[in-house]
Amino acid sequence: MIKAILTILTVGFFSLSHAQDKALLYEVTGKGLAEPSYLYGTFHLVCPTDLQVTDAARKAMGSSKQLYLELDFDDPGMHANLMKSMMLTGGKSLKELMKPTDYATVDGYLVQNMGVGLTQFGNLKPFALLSFMFVTMLKCEPVSYDLAFAQMAGKDKKEVLGLETIEEQLAALDKIPLDEQIKSLVDMVNQPDEAKKELMDLITAYKAQDLPALMKLMRDSKFDGESSKIEEELLEKRNTNWIPLIEKAAQSKATFFAFGAGHLAGDKGVITLLRQKGYTVKAVQ
């Protein structure tokens, strides 16, 4: 669970398959496309000093007619739907779901590191609370590659669209049982240094545009991985669901697609799935 949250906050969900290219930007051509489209692997939350949009990415974005992110940032209802999807249902609270000793441990960590206790997060789902805890490890006011691209599109009056809804995205995490999510909260509190090191190592590899290194870091994670069923829900089904949307958008006009870098790689990653459809997908260094 910790691994899943860590990758969501940073580079998206990872396949453990081999990534061949050291690149984040890919050009998509062939199969009758009138103009090239582009794939870009993002790192969802970073410190401002770590947000680096290359000249090649700016050029690709400039030549594209529309932007697709994982979510439609222009959707006025996205924030409300996000908050609703992050809350426990049925009147449940973390206090009644957690063991008293675990509750006290997590509460003490939050007070020390965030200045507020579990009472303020009583109805929040464990994975959502875990996400906030990872954000505090950045020790800055984080910024988003996705939002940066959305702002670039807005400046050029380009439409911003989403590959999925917030409900669809968070439904994948709901496949993880609540007791496993709670266990991850406790593990996180007991191993904060290890979790922070993994996050910092991922940022370093991402800044080097080293997808193979990112994949290896996930394989070597000190935290337990998810079951094959969870990995299928978090990664493979989402990639498969995106392909028809990517094809339709690219065939209509030159499109810049930006999503978590982990979705690019692997034998069931977006790059491979598009190549299997007959497109030419090549790295742009």
Q: What is the percentage of the chain residues whose pLDDT exceeds 70?
A: 88
| Residue 12, pLDDT score | 53
Looking at the DSSP assignment, which residues form a beta bridge with residue 39? 26, 257
Q: Which residues are registered as beta bridge partners of 160?
A: 67
CB atoms within 10 A of CB 264: 29
Q: Write the pLDDT tens digit of every residue in 152-183.
A: 999 999 999 999 988 888 887 787 788 888 88
Does residue 260 carry a pLDDT above 70? Answer: yes
Contact 123/93 with Cβ under 8 angstroms?
Answer: yes
Number of C-alpha atoms within 13 angstroms, CB side, residue 241? 15
Query: In whole numbers, what is the pLDDT of the chain averaged over residues?
Result: 86
Let me know the angle formed at the C-alpha of 113 by 107 and 118, rounded to the nearest 5 degrees. 25
CA distance 163 to 12: 14
Name the pLDDT band for 139 (thresholds 50, 70, 90).
Answer: confident
pTM of the predicted structure, to 2 decimals: 0.87
Whether the predicted pLDDT of 230 surpasses 70: no
Domain ranges of the chain: 2-87+124-283
Cα dihedral across residues 207, 213, 215, 217: positive or negative: negative
pLDDT over threshold 70, residue 198 = yes
